[in-house]
Amino acid sequence: MSKRPAPPLEPAAGNGLLDRRLFLGAGLAGAALSSAGAAAEPLAVPPWSLAPGAPFNAYGSPSKFEAPAVRKWVPPINPATPGIGASRTPHAMLEGMITPSGLHFERSHAGVPAIDPAQHRLAIHGLVRQPLVFTVEALSRYPMTSRIAFVECGGNSGFLSQPLAQPPGPPPDAQSIHGLLSCSEWTGVKLSTLLDEAGIDPRAHWIYAEGADSAGMSRSIPLAKAMEDTLVCLYQNGERIRPENGYPLRLLVPGYSGNMNVKWLRRIKLVAGPVMTKDETSKYTVLLASGKAWQFVFPLEVKSLITRPSPGAGLKGPGYYEISGMAWSGNGRIKTVEVSADGGASWAPAALAEPILPKAVTRFRMPWNWSGAPAVLQSRAADETGMVQPSRAAMLAERGMRGQYHVNCIQSWGINDKGEAANVFV
């Protein structure tokens, strides 16, 4: 028998949000909360309990019943250039903080190169004492570092900076709007180790990083960041990086704009100033209402997203639900996530799932007693630097409607009286 006080059932914020302390052990058992359904039916012995199952297989894959949990992409604008674009992570069907490697978003400018690791090389040169060339095998001999970190495309959530909440076409959902974010455990060699081995010329202030894809995707990165926490990764979630995510080598530049985490990494050149590549001038720059554009927009600022309920993952009648979502910041750890069920009129703090790691996805959860009436769900994250996720209106007031990149404003999901969720602009 628990001697703990019964969990608070009074709403913590408007429209049925409950106190997150419901999760702290007293549980829901003593609470007069239920969405009780019909009485259970007598249990039958199912066929899979009556015959042996399948033998071993060399590389596992999800249950066939999980077939909808896949990456999706829009057809290419030009069928002649099919490798330009992105596929997106199905957030509403996932939980926790780690994205399965096969569901990590993909972004490529000229398809996925088929790289033979035995022939791949990483060159480090430019303003160094001694230019060096590394084989993949040589890199695998260095001391390894592992960390969990998100990678988010600079173009993720750009949908929220255009004017129509429901434009013509398929209804926007967590996957189509926010699917260019994923989180993995990455393992590799500290870039600082390799740069020190080459010997950094004091005139170097930036590095130029280039991929081996046929588009030679390339970005300039401040040397300080390269020395601080950047990794040359060989492994993702315990296995060698998947081809679409950079096999056999990619950069991890924690918290920084996705395409700075250069995939298929083949060259790092130490340089005095930025190279002004196509992807740091004509793209991935944030055009402001004034006509000027922010350039070198590096950290992805604090952001959160409710993944359940969300469009396509709605509610089945009034009663108790757990709201679940993700929060992350390219500037550090998540400090708080607040949830609103009344379109931002009132807020209550959500429970944060451990571990809360810097520049990684943090899962948040919030108990909710849905009355069956229409609601607008929002989440608002703050990070350890004190930055707070802006409303869409505040973000657009700062930058205008054409910013397109590094969109981190609050997402609003409208819930109608049938329990269906849809993107709304409030």
| Nearest distance in Å: CB 23, other proteins | 32
The CA distance from 217 to 250, in Å, is 12
Q: Which of 141, 203, 316, 418 binds other proteins (CB under 8 A)?
A: 141
For position 144 contacting other proteins by CB under 8 A, the verdict is: no
| Nearest distance in Å: CB 254, other proteins | 13
For position 267 contacting other proteins by CB under 8 A, the verdict is: yes
Contact segment (CB under 8 A) with other proteins among 4-12, 151-159, 193-201, 241-249 equals 193-201
What token pair was written down for 183? 């989180």
Residue 326's nearest CA partner among 302, 347, 342, 345 is 302
Q: Which of 66, 95, 196, 239 binds other proteins (CB under 8 A)?
A: 196
Q: How many Cα neighbours within 13 Å face the side chain of 372?
A: 4
For position 1 contacting other proteins by CB under 8 A, the verdict is: no
Q: Is the peptide bond before 143 cis (omega within 30 degrees of 0)?
A: no
72-92 in b/e form (b: 16+ CB < 10 A) is eeeeeeeeeeeeebbbbbbbb
Contact segment (CB under 8 A) with other proteins among 55-63, 242-250, 268-276, 348-356 equals 268-276
The CA distance from 325 to 171, in Å, is 20
Give the number of other CB atoms < 10 A from CB of residue 11: 16
For position 109 contacting other proteins by CB under 8 A, the verdict is: yes
Backbone angles phi, psi at 388, to 5 degrees: -120, 140
For position 293 contacting other proteins by CB under 8 A, the verdict is: yes
Binding residues for other proteins, rule CB under 8 A, total 64
Cβ proximity to other proteins: between 135 and 391 the closer is: 135
| Nearest distance in Å: CB 68, other proteins | 30
The CA distance from 225 to 208, in Å, is 12
Contact segment (CB under 8 A) with other proteins among 37-45, 208-216, 343-351, 365-373 equals 208-216
Cβ proximity to other proteins: between 320 and 425 the closer is: 425
The CA distance from 344 to 5, in Å, is 30
What token pair was written down for 175? 């996957």
Residue 371's nearest CA partner among 35, 7, 28 is 35
Contact residues for other proteins, defined by CB under 8 A = 77-78, 80-81, 84, 109-110, 123-125, 130-135, 138-139, 141-143, 193-194, 196-198, 208, 210, 214-216, 218, 222, 266-267, 269, 271, 273, 275-278, 281-282, 285-287, 289-299, 301, 331, 385, 400-402
